[in-house]
Amino acid sequence: MNLIARFVKKLSILFGGERFASELDEEMSFHRAQVKEELIAGGMTPEAAHYAAMRQFGNASKLREQSHEVVAFRAETVVQDLRFALRQWTKNPGFASTAILILALGMGVSVAIFGFVDAALLQPLPYANPGRLMSVNESDITTPRWPLSYLDYLDWQRLNKSFSSLDVYGGTGYLLRTSSGAEPVQAERVSGGFFQTLGVQPMLGRDFYPGENRPGGANVVLLSYGAWLHRFGARRDVVGQSVDLDHESYTIIGVLPRTFTFAPSGSAEFWVPLNSFSTHEKLRTFYNFWGIGRLRDGVTVRAALAEMGAIAKQLHLQYGITGRNLSASVVPLDEVIVGEVRPILLTLLGGAGLLLLIACVNVASLVLVRSEGRRREIAVRGALGATPTRLVRQFVTEGLLLAGFGSLAGVLVAVGLMKLLARLVPKDMAANMPFLAGVALNAHTGAVTAAVALMTALLLAATPTLRLSFQKVRDGLSEGDGGAAGRLWQRLGANMVIVELAVAMVLLAGAGLLGQSFYRLLHVRLGFDPDHLATVQVMAPGTVYKSDEQTAGLHEEIVRRVSSLPGVESAGLTSMLPVQCNCQIDGIQIQGRPSHGEHNDVDERHISPAYLSALKARLVRGRLFSDADDASRPGVAVINQALARKFFPGEDPIGQRITDDEGGRPSVWEIVGVVDDVREGPLDVDIWPVEYFPINQTRDHYFSLAVRTRQDPGALLPLLVSTLHQLDPDLGVSDEETMNDQIDGTQAALLHRSSAWLVGGFAAVALVLGVVGLYGVIAYSVSRRTREIGVRMALGAQRRSVYSLVLRQAAWLTGTGLAIGLVSSVGASLLIRNLLFGVHAWDAATLGGVAVLLGLASMAASFLPARRAASVNPTDALRAE
């Protein structure tokens, strides 16, 4: 008979306990009656027969118990153990609640962080067969993913054999006409097969028809689910209606499903086929689109990369492309989507794991201390006949119960924490992290919770058992001598404390380094004054502002009106605000110098005359732009010092000429000024060379306004928006923010802030747990040695020597823990060096500071028991036995 069937049978008996007992009773009373009849038949009086039968049968209830024991699980003893455990806890609620709290914290944090790791790194992207989707682009020596030009894309699509389909996408923005005026909206231009390549079908309406993505195709648009819900009231008849984007009518052909997200497009609401192109986009060297492709079955990434590389090279030769040393890049799409958060998530997971470790060790040592305090109880139970198994089972039961409650509380903590953390991610960033929606208690996180709970249960059950088995009952009964068991425990407990301190050290060092990185990041040189700056993005409809004069007029009018607002010192326009990204790149040459095909990428910004002075950027040489630098005059440029250093070392750049190869604008720019480096790119990236051109000599319809004010810049924002709308209700106005908020909201700041805060939080908890653990060990050791200390003092030991006796032990534990922790910290910090900014993994000041902090905290924790030891009254101590 197999075990499972027996188990089921036992269970059925257990749950049908009543029936089992009554059947047994009936059976036995039948037996007794038969015996009685037999005896009467043998000539006994009925009364005598009754007693004889009873006698023969013995104690009926004992018999019943014996029968029951055969079938039962010893459920009663389990219940007894449980009841006893609970009684112990209610007698000492501090222990149980502390242990459960610590466990819940450790488990909750780990499971919550794992929830994010699972959603971001383990769960597949929500596309058909996502493993075969690749991000297919050009690549450059310094930039591994470089966008494609449209013409190259067409050739790549035509020539390749590795991909069953190849598509491109590129972000754009439109002015959506609504009943309350124009509103800028995010949109994405995609090639016709984009959704088929992803394997996504619209939930309403249809995908693009084949002809619609060719130049001159119809104006059609697919809505994102969010746009359908919020802008069109989730009406099913929306398909076939038209919508006004940039003063052109687009026909809505369908709605994308709710589950559809495409992280590189952020929260794009309108998806249009790529069927009209700007003059630039028709150039082979205008790199503006990102590619995705679906690998054919049996084609490896490496083979695809080799093929695309060859195609890229062939095209470069064929069209005589120089200037950039481009090749192809083929990378799995999920790598592109989650690549940035991967190191941070793994770091957080590591931190959470360490926190869990320290929590478990802490609770295990708490359990150990308690089992030590119960030596006499155990000894008495043993002496009264409890088998060792039974005694062990008591502790196992308590451990399991503790782990059970701890896990339950941990799940609650985890669920709460996942919700909280997901909400803390700012909305802009959340749009690029579609996996956030998948962060929840699901099969994966549930399984991990169960595994962690099981591990904890094993640890907590095993710890006291381990100790118990070494102990002789005899030792326990004579509580007086601190015996071998006490020493053994001390060693085990001490080792645990060393582990705790070492782990706390690692977490503190990590937090210290990340915190310092964050601090350095926030104090990185900006090259301008971000305080008292209000910013807003403006989009002018190209259909209204058609000519250069009209656009230039708009620029001037905006600056004029805003500058006259109360409290405003100055205002300027730029094609892109600082501290955003090193994008909008130009490839330049210096006039009069031979070109060797090297690629000179610089950030290109179009600014109004007052912009740089509004930022309070420092002019180093030459002049800034003036209103006179308009389209009628030769092109002029202001450069930053990085550009001057790179291209004009030891020369005066003023008067030199920059040329660039883009059509539609004067392509020669005379350098008239040099400014100190304004940080145009992200906080954590080195300053790039930057060229500034007058916005008057370009014709941007999409630009940002930066306003220097004497008051609180936040208070100015609504006024800015209303002023712009007064000027022209058709202007798209968005992202009104103070410059400081803008900087705080950048990805670099967010990532560094979140990792610093979270790891800092872990480290704070670890510090408390480690120090409390140390306190526990020292306090326990002092309590065990009260008599010894009493004897020493009776024999003339000074208080000072008692202090040193206790503190020496503490110092030894702390020192060992710190030493191990220090070595591990360097190792751990090297693992997270990619997250560090402006600080080395082995930064001595941080490591030293953290060690001093932990050392001081440890000494403070051990000072309390030392003082208690030193204030022992020898007479009391000697009488204590």
Binding residues (CB under 8 A) for another protein: these are 1, 5-6, 9-10, 23-24, 26-28, 30-31, 33-35, 55-58, 62-63, 66-71
Minimum distance from CB of 38 to another protein (Å)?
8
CB of 61: closest distance to another protein in angstroms? 12
Spatial distance between the Cα atoms of 499 and 363, rounded to a whole number of angstroms: 13
Closest residue by Cα to residue 548 from 440, 666, 643, 399: 666
Distances (CA, A) of 657 to 598, 608, 665, 667, 673: 17, 20, 15, 10, 12
Cα–Cα dist 564/551, whole Å: 20
Those residues whose C-beta lies under 8 Å from the C-beta of residue 645, and which sit 6 or more positions away, are: none
**Integer Cα distance of 196 and 213 in angstroms:** 14
Q: What whole-number distance in Å separates Cα of residue 189 and Cα of residue 125?
A: 21
Between 36 and 752, name the residue whose CB sits nearer to another protein.
Answer: 36
Nearer to another protein, 43 or 592 (CB): 43
Total residues belonging to the chain: 881
CB of 21 to another protein, least distance (A): 12
For the CB of residue 499, give the shortest distance to another protein in the complex, in Å.
46
- Taking the complex as a whole, the smallest distance from the CB of residue 405 to another protein amounts, in Å, to 33
End-to-end CA distance of the chain: 57
Instruction: Tell me the closest approach of the beta carbon of residue 433 to another protein, in angstroms.
Output: 57
User: What's the token pair of residue 485?
Assistant: 């068991």
Element (H, E) at 278: none
C-beta of 74 vs 808, nearer to another protein: 74
Given the complex with another protein, which of 64 and 444 has the nearer CB atom? 64
- How near is the Cβ of 787 to another protein at its closest, in Å? 52
Task: CB nearer to another protein: give 57 or 648.
Answer: 57
Q: Which is nearer to another protein, 33 or 845 (CB)?
A: 33
Least CB distance from residue 77 to another protein, whole Å? 17
From the CB of 5, what's the least distance to another protein, in Å?
7
Query: Distance between CA 498 and CA 811 in Å, rounded?
Result: 11
- Number of CB atoms found within 10 A of residue 747's CB: 18
> Based on CB atoms, which residue is closest to another protein, 58 or 385?
58
Structure tokens at 303: 């083979």
Could you give the residue ranges of the DSSP H alpha helices within 320-374? 333-338, 342-373
3-state secondary structure (DSSP) of residue 507: helix
C-beta of 44 vs 819, nearer to another protein: 44
| Closest residue by Cα to residue 383 from 393, 371, 375 | 375
Q: How far apart are CA 323 and CA 307, in angstroms?
A: 22
Shortest Cβ distance from residue 64 to another protein (Å)?
A: 8
d(CA 540, CA 551): 8
The least distance separating another protein from the CB of residue 68, rounded to whole angstroms, comes to 8
The span from the CA of 258 to the CA of 263, in Å, is 14
CB closer to another protein, 19 vs 833: 19
Cα 60 from Cα 65, distance rounded (Å)? 9
β 270-273/327-332 pair status: unpaired
CA distances from 508 to 125, 444, 513, 772, 829 (A): 35, 30, 8, 16, 11
Residue closer to another protein by CB (options 33, 79) is 33
Q: CB 27 → another protein: shortest distance, Å? A: 5
CA gyration radius for the chain?
38
Nearest to 194 by CA among 264, 120, 242, 286: 264
| Helix 93-117 with 75-91: angle, nearest 10 deg | 100
Residue written as tokens 């929260």?
A: 267
Q: Which is nearer to another protein, 6 or 633 (CB)?
A: 6
Residue 152 Cα distances to 282, 286, 663, angstroms:
10, 10, 18
Nearer to another protein, 24 or 581 (CB): 24
Cβ at position 256, least distance to another protein in Å: 60
| Residues 26, 37: Cα–Cα separation, whole Å | 17
Residue with Cβ nearer another protein (63 or 383)? 63
Q: 92: phi > 0 → left, psi -120 to 50 → alpha, else beta; which?
A: beta
Beta carbon of residue 786, minimum distance to another protein (angstroms, whole number): 52
Q: Which is nearer to another protein, 33 or 484 (CB)?
A: 33
Alpha-carbon distance 85 to 77, whole Å? 12
State in angstroms the smallest separation of the CB of 49 from another protein: 14
Nearer to another protein, 53 or 806 (CB): 53
CA angle, residues 495, 498, 501, in degrees to nearest 5: 155
CA distance 503 to 239: 59
In 712-792 the beta strands, taken as DSSP E runs, fall at: 732-738
Closer residue to another protein (CB): 30 or 470: 30
Q: Report CA torsion sign: 760, 762, 767, 768.
A: positive
Helix, strand or coil, per DSSP, at residue 701: coil
Q: How far is the CB of 75 from another protein (least distance, A)?
A: 15
